[in-house]
Each structure stands twice: as C-alpha cells, then as structure tokens.
Amino acid sequence: MIDCPHFGRCGGCTYLDIPYAQELAQKKEALRETLGPYGHFIENIIPAPLPVGYRNKMELAFGDEAKDGQLALGMRKRRSYYEVASVENCVLIPEDFRKIALTVQDYFRDAGEPFFHRKRHIGSLRHLVLRRGEFTGELLIILSTTSNLKAPIEPLLSQIRDLKLDGKIVGILHCINDGVADVVKEDNTRVLVGQDYYHEKICGLAFRVSAFSFFQTNSAGAEKLYGVIRDMAETSTGLAYDLYCGTGTISQVLSPNFTKVMGIELNPDAIEAARDNVILNGISNCEFFSGDVQELLDGKSPDIAIVDPPRDGLHPRALAKLIAMAPPRLIYVSCKPASLARDLVGLTEAGYTPRRAIGVDMFPRTPHVEAVMLLERD
C-alpha cells in the first residue's frame, strides 16, 4: 500500500490502498466479467515488472491546486477543468520526470506566468509533456503554451540543464497552441535544444520515437506484452498482417517468426517511423503501408493477423473485411477489453473460436489492463 495525499482526487490511481497482488486478482476478475461468456479463457494476469515509476510518457497540465490558488503542474483532478494535483508525490512517474516538472512549475510560479483559462481565453501555460527511453535513458521535453507567453524561456532551459538526472536530455521543444481544445498539438513546434525524438530498446530492438508519435507508455511492460503476442503467434514460414501497427513494434518483434510481415497504419508519420526503424534494426522482411485498415484489407489472406485497434475496437467495416479475408489465426490485442468483448460477438458468429487469453498489467495502480486473445477459424 502507498500513501499519496492526492489519492482519490487526481484521477490517476485507483489501487494505491491495497497490495499489488490483490490489485492483480481484482483486475483478473474484472477482465473475466467484461469478456462475459469468453471470460473463462483468461489464463492469468501478467504482473508489471515495475508497479510504480513505470511511465515513459506523461502529459501534465498547468492549472491551480485549488480555485484561485497558486500555479500547479500535474494531473487533472477528477471533475475539474482547472485544478491539478502536483506531481511532487506522484508514484506513477520516474524521479527524473518529477525533478523536471517541479523545476518548470517553480520557474513559472516565480515568474507569475498564468495558466491558460479555456473559458476566459486568458493565460499562456497549457501542458508539459515528458517522454523517456526507459532502457536508453534518453529524455524528451515538450512545453506547450499559447503565443501570449511572457516569461523568457532561456533561463528555464538553463535550470533544466543544471538538474542532476539519471537520464540524459536529448531534446527540448516548444509548441504554440492558441486553440481552445485542451490538447497538445504538434503544429507550430520548434526545437529549442537537441532533437525532436528519442530512442528506446524493446525486446532487443532499437526504436526511434518522435515527439508526438504513439509508443507504449510502459516499456518494461511492453516487453511482457510483446512476448505474449510472440508466443501466441508461434513460428510460421508464411505471411503475417500487423493491423493498426503504429510504428511497427509488433511487426519487428514478430519478424523472425514469419517469412514476411505487413503492417498497416492510418498515421503516415508512424509508418515513416516504422520504415526508419526496420532500417535501424537491419530487418528486411517487414513492409509497411499507410492507410485505413478497412480500405486496405484486400488481397491475399495471411497465415495470421494481429490486430491492435484503438480503444473503441474494430470499425464494423474493418471487422467485416477481416472476416472476409478469413485468416486461419487471429490475435486481438485490446487496451479496452469492453471493445474486445463486443467484437468477439461478430468474430465467433463468423466461425472464430477463442483458444487462449492473457491479461498484461501495463498500467499498475490504475483500473486499466491489456488483454491478448488468440482465436482460430473453424
């Protein structure tokens, strides 16, 4: 059990008040309930290698700790647009993130710089995004503000560079967002220090991760997840499809198992990164295509298809295309098991039978859990 003054208010953690073993047991039962008639296929929940301090990415918001209170930088409190819980006691982040965030918070407090108020359209400070390679130690910092920022950034850069960190800062970026939406936008971004990417190593492979591209937020957990997928996929001399492949991490992990792996992803920047990464790793049997899965799923049926869709699961048209293509084996990776449960109805009606299912705790202390299921076509 872990003591945190913000527990129950910041919205980040759910299970700090119970032992980790009990958390895993509750997640396993919740996953079985979510999957309903398919829940009994869940074999176990693989624990996270690091139950605390595991996040390799944090998107922190500027706000106040209480209404009209002093400036704060951290996680949004539940049911609040502007109040945030400071990262000073956050158990999800590594120590380097904490040092950087508190330095940025204190600098802008002393400068009297206000956070951006979305209703009144005043203020300048929006977000601080911190990213790191857990196995490389490389750190990337992205500050998001409006164009009304008054405080000079150079003194802040000096303070950050003077910090004693375990990792190494490889890039500091500043992006300007004058929109109303509470999001980090990559438009109008300039590099202040270094570069706009960092490197990570997963399963013995190197990956170049750009500032705004998707990457699993738990690197050590990702190795466990990809190991489960690799074991379920087994080894074949045939063709594998990696659908919603992102930067091609699963494709490359599976590349020794198959003659050829083809990845499809809507985001063209992610596909460009995937192509760069296969060159970086010296892999020659992976090919990547940019486009909508439901539009590109035509042609030869693969020996296996791995689908890792967004949280809402497979679009009905993509599901229909996948069923029509009829791969003999299918691995469904889901960060929202409720979407998997919904899609299982269509898959089982089309003749697919679940064979194995395993949970992977990618997000300790939160209610989220990753599910991986192997299905075979009758």
Task: Quote the pLDDT of residue 377.
Answer: 93
Share of the chain above pLDDT 90, in %: 72
Note the pTM of the prediction, 2 decimals.
Answer: 0.90
Q: What is the per-residue pLDDT for 281?
A: 96
Q: What dihedral angle (degrees, nearest 10) is formed by the CA atoms of 169, 174, 177, 181?
A: 10
Q: pLDDT tier at 213 (50, 70, 90 boundaries)?
A: confident
Q: CA-to-CA distance for 53 and 62, rounded, in angstroms?
A: 21
The predicted-structure confidence for 20-63, as pLDDT tens digits, reads as follows 999 999 999 999 999 999 999 999 999 999 988 999 999 999 99
State the burial class of residue 337 (Cβ atoms within 10 Å of its Cβ: 0-12, 13-18, 19+): buried
Q: How does DSSP assign 116-154, residue by residue?
A: PBTTTTB--EEEEEEEE-TTT-EEEEEEEE-TT--S-SH
| pLDDT of res. 378 | 85
Task: State the pLDDT at residue 118.
Answer: 77
Band the pLDDT of 125: cuts 50, 70, 90.
very high
Band (11; pLDDT cuts 50, 70, 90):
low
Positions annotated as catalytic residues are: 335
pLDDT digits (tens, 9 = 90+) for 177-197: 998 888 888 889 999 999 999
* Span 246-266, pLDDT tens digits: 889 999 999 999 999 999 998
Rounded distance between C-alpha atoms, residue 334 and residue 330, angstroms: 13
In angstroms, the CA 245 to CA 263 distance is: 5
Rounded Cα distance, 286 and 240, in Å: 10
User: In the prediction, which pLDDT does 5 show?
Assistant: 66
Summarize the confidence of residues 123-142 as an average pLDDT: 97
pLDDT value, residue 283: 97
